[in-house]
Amino acid sequence: MDTYAVTLRPKGSHLGPITAQTLFGATCWAIDTLRLTDVAELLAGFSDRPRFVFSSAFPFIQGSKGLVRFLPQPALPPASMEHVQKLAEKRAGRGHGVQFKGAVKNILDSDVKSVKKAGYVSEGLFAQICAGEWSSLVLIEILGDKVDTVGATGGPLWLTDERKQSWGTIRPENSWTVVDVQRNAVDRVAGATAEGLLFHETQTFYRRGQAGLWFIVRAEAEVWPWLEAAFRYLADTGLGGKRTIGKGHFDFEPPVPYTLPDAPDADSFITLSPYLPRFTGDQIEAEPRRYTLQTIRQKAENKFPGPERMQVYSGGLRLFGEGSIFALPEKREVFGRLASLGTVNSHPVYYNGLALPVLAKLGGGI
């Protein structure tokens, strides 16, 4: 399978996050609309042979001296109390002007929380973490020296000083913002907004020309013409909700070859997509080591009229979030599975739980 990166230049705001499921579903609808292949038959074959897999979309910042891409912060274990105490001894003994207890408190209140709250890390820092070079403790030790943080909506951005220099005069903390926009529904009988019809939508806005999104897609060579045609279609129709009123519209730049970190002696993998693992009996395909969980209540899109209608919500799913770490049972290009949610107009409806893995050397103690 070939791996490519696709850059999305926003034309306006979009609703909610652009996840791997959003990209997968939109691409499948585009392939079906363009009549490139029988999508139902294509997806039925994914149980034995996934033909393509997406990462979620992550932010980038366009500096005056280059593009800085970000990836999700891996779910590294926090530094142990023993390590914190040793670091406090170093700081108290090298002229920081703080007593030991004060140094411990400062590390716990500031540095440890900074590592935990990081939203995204730069590509270079992500690759070094995958190579086993930097743990949470090492990140704490070099914070402000070799690694810097920038405040951003959704959590601080972590990056190496070298990458930060490429921003030039850009102020990255103002590159995007996430806001809750109040909306109202109209009672068709009353002809006005009645009690209980106010609601909020989460929208993301970007500073034009300064920030946007990018994602990674891995696919077999024979399906690439379908994907490229689908991306051109989605550039006209948009991604996510409220597309017909201008939300979620992007310029899709042509896919470019991309190389993910690949530790030769990998013992783990980090997922770049919400991950729904396969099971063989009671055995999970990859043992979770450090992870976050997401509860999904998926809406089924009834894009075309027909005799059958599916309920709006199709039940809950529990998935592992982006940045989660798993033991590596064997090297694969794709992990996970599609979950069957039901049928609409006699066609099966799936939720995409396929994970794009990044192989890493993180040690068995995670």
pLDDT above 70: residue 9? yes
In sequence order, which residues have a C-beta less than 8 Å from that of residue 97 and are 6 or more positions away?
none
The reported pLDDT for the residue numbered 326 is 94
Q: If you average pLDDT over residues 79-83, what whole number do you get?
A: 64
136 compared with 341, residue with greater pLDDT: 341
The reported pLDDT for the residue numbered 55 is 96
Encoded tokens for 352: 């995409």
pLDDT above 90: residue 347? no
The reported pLDDT for the residue numbered 263 is 85
Q: If you average pLDDT over residues 315-341, what whole number do you get?
A: 89
Q: If you average pLDDT over residues 64-77, what whole number do you get?
A: 83
Number of other residues whose CB lies within 10 A of the CB of residue 37: 13
The reported pTM is: 0.83
Average pLDDT of the chain is 80
The reported pLDDT for the residue numbered 362 is 83
The reported pLDDT for the residue numbered 95 is 47
Please work out, in degrees rounded to the nearest 5, the angle formed at the alpha carbon of residue 318 by the alpha carbons of 312 and 320.
130
pLDDT digits (tens, 9 = 90+) for 229-252: 999 999 999 898 888 888 889 999
Confidence of residue 140 (pLDDT cuts 50, 70, 90): low
Q: If you average pLDDT over residues 123-144, what whole number do you get?
A: 73
Domain ranges of the chain: 66-168, 176-206, 261-366
Determine how β-strand 147-150 pairs with β-strand 157-160: antiparallel
The reported pLDDT for the residue numbered 27 is 94
Q: If you average pLDDT over residues 262-279, what whole number do you get?
A: 91
- Give the residues across from 148 on adjacent strands: 159
DSSP string, 210-232: TEEEEEEEEE-GGGHHHHHHHHH
DSSP string, 25-39: HHHHHHHHHTTSS-H
Minimum mean pLDDT range among 10-24, 50-64, 72-86, 255-269: 72-86
The reported pLDDT for the residue numbered 229 is 94
pLDDT digits (tens, 9 = 90+) for 45-54: 888 889 999 9
The reported pLDDT for the residue numbered 179 is 82
The reported pLDDT for the residue numbered 181 is 81
